[in-house]
Chains A and B, each alone.
Chain A
């Protein structure tokens, strides 16, 4: 039932089919920061019963595992690897709770197949920690109380991190557009703007993430 996935090396940078699929759903920050992408050829159809062996590089660590082709990156992160900082809330690309960075760009993990993510650097909220220390955006979210229940928060923080990696000094308008792909039902938006603005200022001044 298993086979080795045919080697399908992704280009090192720039445009991939992952980029295309990701940007359809996620990408609010990517759009806002001026990153563009285009479609590649449609991949061959895979038998849904078949398990495929893949290797995912998540937060710098390589995970080898068997996946069903239909499994999303979100499903693999949460249900197969137990990396639950990434939240599942709509599972159809509408709320942003599952935002992760794929090669530095914010992507909805629920709209990204695990297969597609192979060969990329995947960063989740846990990957923004430095050991036990909070990363700069995380710290800014705490200081500015940029959350309430906290469920959308990992997605918000990862989206902000992606925005700042592409654009270290965003304007208020760029922040609003960059963060507009992430719903916060508690409505902590004003504090999110404050936190991202502050994190951006810190980064500009030379602080790392």
Chain B
């Protein structure tokens, strides 16, 4: 992945104008940085929050989708006669239905095929859709559709896609473009210079986002106006796709996403199911609700690709890196999509001679979707374990060895500087807080249990940026509305946004109401993903609040016959600095009282030119490996994070622990299993066999250590993103801890008991 194309949104990104240049960074804060429970906590714990799947409209129909059961096939015929006669069925659509025979675009307008394709390139490709009076009737009717397929040979394993006899997933072969190469210096000279070299191959398995709320939408038409409730990470991209699909003006498409039950990247793009719901709603003139069953969420809504990564690193005896060579292979499925991982390998460590290569291949699987830090956790799994191997060869402490080599600038030809880089602090302060040195020395053997500690470092390659437009309305009674387009995907967006308003205007949190994620009533924001909502939208929130404050002080200055610069707003009272006798309570500001409200607009300013911005992190963990069962127990985890200024410490901690939980999934429990030999089908498309970590699988104790240093050069809140770096180094830290316990690296994630026992078995044989 690269920061150029990660987390794209559907269609062009409007720019936002510049703000009035105003106050610089916060010096002291009263609200920002404290621990604040979420302002929508009540709704989320009481059951009153209406998620898209909870939407129920009068006369609403229920949709279901028939999907191809084969990994690769051509549809020869579809007979819907019987299905149409089934009880409750109101409409059946296929690729031949007028209005449903539309082309399908993804990403930045790439042609992706059709809404329903004759050629099915993965298990789960859409064949037909039905809307019926009840959900069960829709499912019953789906089963009555008769489809004839011509079944083709398939390839679902990425490491088999380029074999000479591999079936072609698409015309033109199974390579997705040319391998992506990043290169600097002279790699051969670098290795010639090295005193020590390690070379290893690591592999991660395919991880699925698996948000708890299934993918789905409710669509309703009023004449030629379309309203959609969608479980999405970004309502505006969905609006653009729907406007294009139905030839509607943007103003006629309203997409609402007030609550949504998790996405992790799988809900960044518009789903075909959304368009199908809208088509069927239009044809029946009734609202249609279409949510995917869990199995379809596993087979058809994206994943983090499996990757095989070979890392070769050379260093001098003094520990300085001389060369890094990295190759990664992965598959983004049957449609154009990236499965590259090399960004972290190319730039995390200072090294003159680097060559990385990403090969992406087609397989008969659904398209990947950018799962939480696409490419980075896989790369960390390989790179950070190879760094530990190298440290061991050099006889160096892994943390100290990293400290010697971490990046100090962005090492492209232009050698751009980084606005703020606290990675060294993440490593040193994290190690101290964790008790790294003592833990490293502690006894490893405890009967049949072996303990080990591991660390890993990272940055995240996408900083966020414009556009974002936010409106703050201050009412004469001292309460406020905040109006922003961003989705709150569970990361606490609404809460930190309210905290910024509270910080700037002094309005208490319980008097701030946030309207968000509704294309009809809020302003454009990019989708919430890529750890960019805080760094992209928080500056616009602050700018809007400052705009309100300026107008308010202007009104008060007129009334008090002084200048705005002489006035200070505190606790909703305006006081003159020069003459503290001159003061006005908010309700006494006459022009505000006459207007009823003051409205301020804020925009996200551009990122600094010619510089890069990254969040950084180091994580530490201690594990206990049961040599009898092969099970790994994670005793404790610590995340030390440089994400700039901490807005809300309570949700910050939660985000770090959540990222660690997902990383534990990648490292220890989760794996999509495809039947590569006989059917090409996913054999564990359910939560019983696909192991999302439970409360028993995460660490016994979690610690969060923020390096709370604002990046004031980057934006006016000093913030960088957190969601992705929270999960990037996790699996790698576990891999290193397990290697510390066993004395050898287990190269293939997830580290299931079988794999650990295999490693132990091999060790025993050798001994």
Residue A24 at the chain B interface, CB threshold 8 Å: no
Q: Given A90-B687, A95-B687, do A85 and B46 touch, yes or no (CB 8 Å)?
A: yes
Task: Indicate if B179 sits at the interface (CB-CB under 8 A).
Answer: no
Chain A 164-198 interface 0/1 with B at a Cβ cutoff of 8 Å (1 = within): 00000000000011011011111111111100000
**Of B406-414, B425-433, B506-514, B658-666, the one with at least 4 CB within 8 A of chain A:** B658-666
With A and B bound together, what is the CA distance between A180 and B694 in angstroms?
6
* A180:B696 contact, CB within 8 angstroms: yes
Minimum CB–CB distance for A109 against chain B, Å? 13
Q: Check if B38 sits within 8 Å of A85, measured CB to CB.
A: no
Find out whether the CB atom of A151 lies under 8 angstroms from the CB atom of B38.
Answer: no
> Which of these, B47, B261, B686, contacts A94 with CB under 8 Å?
B686
Which residues of the other chain, B, contact A16 by a CB distance below 8 angstroms?
A: none
Closest residue of chain A to B51 (Cβ to Cβ) is A151
Q: Are B658 and A90 in contact (CB under 8 A)?
A: no
CB-CB under 8 A from A75, the residues of chain B are 135-136
Interface residue stretch chosen among B206-214, B334-342, B455-463, B496-504 = B206-214
Q: Does A149 contact B260, Cβ atoms closer than 8 Å?
A: yes
- 15 contacting pairs across A/B (C-beta < 8 A): A84-B51, A89-B214, A91-B293, A94-B687, A129-B46, A142-B45, A145-B654, A149-B261, A151-B51, A151-B211, A151-B261, A186-B490, A188-B658, A189-B657, A191-B654
Interface pick from A37-45, A114-122, A152-160: A152-160
> Which among B213, B658, B696 is the interface contact of A177 at CB below 8 angstroms?
B696
Known: A84-B56, A92-B686, A191-B657. A154 touches B261 (CB 8 A): no
Q: Does B489 contact A (CB under 8 A)?
A: yes
The verdict on A103 contacting chain B, using a C-beta distance below 8 Å, is: no
The 8 Å CB contact of A186, one of B42, B262, B653, is: B262
Closest-by-CB residue of A relative to B657 is A190
**Which residues of B, 263-305, contact A by the 8 Å Cβ criterion?**
264, 293-294
Return chain B residues, CB-CB under 8 Å to A188: 654, 657-658
Q: How far is it, in angstroms, between the C-alpha of A96 and the C-alpha of B659 when the chains are bound?
A: 21
A50 is an interface residue with CB less than 8 A from chain B: no
Q: A95-B212, A147-B45 are in contact. Are A185 and B491 (CB under 8 A)?
A: no
Query: Is B294 a contact of A92 with CB atoms below 8 Å?
Result: yes
Query: Taking the complex as formed, is B49 at the interface, i.e. its CB lies under 8 A from any CB of chain A?
Result: yes
Residue A26 lies at the interface, judged by CB distance under 8 Å to chain B: no
**A79 at interface (Cβ–Cβ under 8 A)?**
yes
Closest to B687 in A: A94
A9 to B694, CA, bound (A): 37
| In the complex, chain B residues 645-691 whose Cβ is within 8 Å of any chain A Cβ | 650-651, 653-655, 657-662, 686-688
Cβ of B540 to closest chain A Cβ, rounded Å: 23
- Complex CA gap A134/B46 in Å reads 7
Q: Which residues of A contact B (CB under 8 A)?
A: 68, 70-71, 75, 78-79, 82-92, 94-95, 97, 124-126, 129, 134, 138-139, 141-143, 145, 147-154, 157, 176-177, 179-180, 182-193
Q: A-contacting residues of B (Cβ < 8 Å)?
A: 37-38, 41-51, 53-54, 56, 134-136, 209-214, 259-262, 264, 293-294, 489-492, 650-651, 653-655, 657-662, 686-688, 692-696, 698-699, 701-702
| A187→B659 contact, CB < 8 A | yes
CB atoms of A153 and B44 under 8 A apart: yes
Complex: A153 Cα to B47 Cα, angstroms: 9
**Which of A142, A153, A186 is packed against the most chain B CB atoms within 10 Å?**
A186
B-chain residues with CB within 8 Å of residue A147 when the two chains form the complex? 44-45, 490
B260: chain A residues within 8 A (beta carbon)? 149
Residues of A within 8 A of B47 (CB): 83-86, 124-126, 154
Evaluate whether A151 and B212 lie within 8 angstroms (CB atoms) in the complex, with A89-B294, A186-B490, A187-B657 already known: yes
Of A88, A129, A150, which is in contact with the most chain B CB atoms at under 10 Å from its CB?
Answer: A150
User: Chain A nearest CB: distance from B209 CB in Å?
Assistant: 8
Task: Tell me whether A145 and B38 are in contact in the complex, defined as CB-CB below 8 angstroms, given that A92-B294, A134-B45 are known contacts.
Answer: yes
For the complex with contacts A143-B37, A151-B262, 18 further pairs of A-B residues with Cβ separation under 8 Å are A82-B56, A84-B47, A85-B48, A89-B212, A95-B212, A138-B45, A142-B41, A148-B262, A151-B211, A157-B45, A185-B209, A185-B210, A185-B692, A188-B657, A189-B661, A190-B654, A190-B698, A190-B701
Report the nearest A residue to B50, measured CB to CB: A84
**Smallest Cβ-Cβ distance to B692: which chain A residue:** A183
State whether A125 touches B46 (Cβ < 8 A). Answer: yes
Contact with A91, one of B213, B294, B489, B701 (Cβ below 8 angstroms): B294
Verify A87–B261 contact, CB threshold 8 A: yes
Chain B hits for A90, CB < 8 A:
294, 686-687
CA distance A199 to B658 in the complex (A): 22
> How many residue pairs bridge A and B at CB < 8 Å?
169
Chain A residue contacts of B696, Cβ below 8 A? 176-177, 180
B53, A87: Cβ atoms closer than 8 Å: yes
CB distance from B234 to the nearest CB of A (A): 15
Given contacts A87-B213, A94-B688, A145-B650, contact A180 B695 (CB under 8 A): yes
Cα distance, A192 to B693, chains bound together (Å): 14
CB–CB B45/A189 < 8 A: no
Assess whether B659 is in contact with A152, with CB atoms less than 8 Å apart: no
Contact between A185 and B212 (Cβ–Cβ < 8 Å)?
A: yes
B134 / chain A contacts, CB cutoff of 8 Å: 79
**A residues less than 8 Å from B135 (CB atoms):** 75, 79
Contact indicator A150/B657 (Cβ below 8 Å): no
Task: Please name the 3 residue pairs, one residue from A and one from B, whose CB atoms are nearest each other, closest first.
Answer: A85-B47, A187-B661, A151-B261
In the complex, are the beta carbons of B262 and A185 less than 8 A apart?
yes
Name the B residues within 8 Å of A184 (CB-CB). 212, 661, 695
Shortest C-beta distance, B451 to chain A (Å), equals 20
CA distance A86 to B37 in the complex (A): 23
Contact of B37 among A142, A151, A193 (CB under 8 A): A142
Residue in chain A with minimal CB distance to B44: A150
| Alpha-carbon separation in the docked complex, A75 to B136 (Å) | 10
Minimum CB distance partner of A147 in chain B: B44
Q: Chain B nearest CB: distance from A120 CB in Å? A: 19
Q: Which residue of A lies closest to B495 (CB)?
A: A145
| Chain B residues in 8 Å Cβ range of A95 | 212, 687
* Cβ–Cβ < 8 Å partners of A153 in chain B: 44-45
On chain B, the residues within 8 Å of A82 by CB distance are 56
State in angstroms the CA–CA spacing of A74 and B499 once bound together: 37
Q: How far is the CB of A35 from chain B (nearest CB, A)?
A: 19
